[in-house]
Amino acid sequence: MEINLPLISPLSRKYYLYAGDTEQKAHHRAVDIRICLEYVCDEIVIEFVSPEIKNKWARYKLHDKINATKAFMDSALVEKLLQAKVIGNKGAHKGEEGEYKAHDIDDALGIIKQFSLEIFHVYFIKNGFGDLVNGSWVPTVFSTLPPIYRVTILSKYYLRNPSLFVIDKLSKAYLKSGMKKEGIDFLEDCLKKNEINDEQCIILKHDLDLLEQSFNKLNVAENLERAKDNFNRLLPAIEEDKRDVFVCLISLILNGRS
């Protein structure tokens, strides 16, 4: 498994795919990057900005919308996203004569993918990932995503929150991504760092063995389309008054605003 698509809404993903089509003229691909970023901002980023910024959103230019993410995102990553926007501008205003290369477009697509994963990390830092006590739907809803996305996001979040709950979820995501060895190595590393004890490590490894034995019975999402199906099957089980921001975010990413 590998991450082929960013975790952005279907409409923004459409233009992401257009920009990735190497059969298109370069300036068309560049323009598609800009359109993709517009939708990323208007459908995803807007959910994270302050109420004050949200009230001004319609008057913001794309540069301002991206720049607003510095309030909750890593500034270096935001600067890279602004550079991706510049590539789109050059395509729109200069056409084929714009000063950009094919690799600039590819780099821009990579930044969009990285940014989309970082959004989840930011959400978990702000709101937590959930645990077995408070009954949060976040871990269950998150589990509908393809495992490799979960590995990437939780690996970073684990550095901020090396709790037993996060360690357990991350080790299982490794297994479901076909990386059992990496999952075991991860648990042993957590043991060495005293983040889990011997007994917990044994139990978590045993859980991986049990999970592996029933792997063919698991409804593991291999791509975002399968994730969409899994999420929509899960959604009716979540009472409407329990459908928090995270549930809405996943719904937007997988289903669009509908």
> pLDDT for 123-134, tens place per residue?
999 888 876 556
Percent share of the chain, pLDDT over 90: 74
pLDDT class for 214, splitting at 50, 70, 90?
A: confident
Give the per-residue pLDDT at 216: 77
Give the per-residue pLDDT at 258: 47
Question: Which residues, including other chains, have CB under 8 Å from residue 208's CB and lie 6 or more apart?
Answer: 171, 172, 175, 180, 183, 184, 187
